Amino acid sequence: MELEIEKILSQMTLEEKASLCSGADFWHTKAIERLGLPAVMVTDGPHGLRKQEGESDHLGLNESVRAVCYPSGAGLASSFDTNLIRQLGEVLGETAAGEGVHTLLGPAVNIKRSPLCGRNFEYLSEDPWLAGEMAAAYVQGVQSRGVGTSVKHFAANNQESNRMSVSAEVSERALREVYLVPFEKTVRQAQPWTVMCAYNRINGTYCCENEWLLDQVLREEWGFDGIVMTDWGAMNDRCRALKAGLELEMPASGGENDKRIVERVKNGLLDEAVLDEAVRRLLRWIARGNDPKAPAPTYDRQAQHEFARQAAGQTAVLLKNEGVLPLKQGASLAFIGGFAKKPRYQGGGSSHINSVKVTNALESCASLARIRYAEGFSVDSDQADGEKLQEAVAAAREAECAVIFAGLPDAYESEGYDRTHLELPACQNELIEAVAAVQPNTVVVLHNGSPITMPWLDKVAAVLEMYLGGEAVGEAEADLLFGAVNPSGRLAETFPLRLEDTPSFLNFPGNGKRVFYGEDVYVGYRWYDARKMEVFFPFGYGLSYTSFAYTDIALDCDRLDAQKKEITVKVKVKNTGARSGREVVQLYVRPQDHTDRPVQELKGFAKVELAPGEEREVLFHLDCRSFELYDERLHKWILPAGKYEIGVGPHSRSLPLRAVIEAEWRGSRLIDDTTTLGEVLDSGRHVAAIDAVAKALGVSDDAGTGEGLGAGTDQMMRELMRGLPLRRLVTFGGMTHEQIQDMIVDLVFG
Q: What is the mean pLDDT of each run of 10 residues along the chain (750 residues)?
A: 90 97 95 95 91 68 84 98 98 95 97 98 98 98 97 98 97 98 98 98 98 98 98 96 98 93 96 97 95 81 96 98 98 98 91 92 98 95 94 98 97 94 97 98 98 98 98 98 98 98 97 97 98 98 98 95 90 98 98 91 98 98 95 91 96 98 80 80 68 70 47 65 83 82 72
3-state DSSP helix/strand/coil % of the chain, to nearest 5: 35, 20, 45
pLDDT of residue 72: 97
Task: Note whether 464 and 319 are within 8 A (CB).
Answer: yes
Per-residue burial over 329-353, b = 16 or more CB atoms within 10 Å of its CB, e = otherwise:
eeeebbbbbbbbbebbbbbbbbbbb
Closest CA to 87 of 317, 296, 304, 300: 304
Check whether residue 205 and residue 279 sit in a common domain.
no
Check whether residue 308 and residue 237 sit in a common domain.
no
Helices 272-288 & 256-266, crossing angle to 10 degrees? 140
Within 162-237, residue ranges assigned H as helices are: 172-174, 181-190, 211
Q: Which amino acid is at 100?
A: G
CA distance 7 to 95: 33
Torsion of CA 669, 674, 678, 682, to 10 degrees: 10
pLDDT of residue 55: 66
Check whether residue 131 and residue 277 sit in a common domain.
no
pLDDT of residue 704: 40
Task: Note whether 170 and 160 are within 8 A (CB).
Answer: no
Check whether residue 631 and residue 651 sit in a common domain.
yes
Longest dimension (CA), the chain: 90
Structural domain of 263: 1-38+252-288
Residue 671 located in a structural domain? no
- Strand-pair category, 642-649 with 581-591: antiparallel
Neighbours of 245 (CB within 10 A): 25
- As annotated, the active-site residues are 231
Q: For residue 72, which phi and psi values (nearest 5 degrees)? A: -75, 175
CA distance 728 to 188: 45
Check whether residue 47 and residue 156 sit in a common domain.
yes
- Strand-pair category, 566-575 with 615-623: antiparallel
pLDDT of residue 720: 79
Q: What are the residues facing 8 on neighbouring strands? A: none
Residue 161 located in a structural domain? yes
Closest CA to 365 of 318, 405, 410, 421: 405
Check whether residue 417 and residue 365 sit in a common domain.
yes
Residue 294 located in a structural domain? no
- Strand-pair category, 201-202 with 205-206: antiparallel
Number of domains in the chain: 5
Residues 6+ apart with CB under 8 A from 138: 85, 86, 88, 89, 106, 107, 149
Residue 378 located in a structural domain? yes
Whether this model's pTM surpasses 0.85? yes
Check whether residue 507 and residue 451 sit in a common domain.
yes
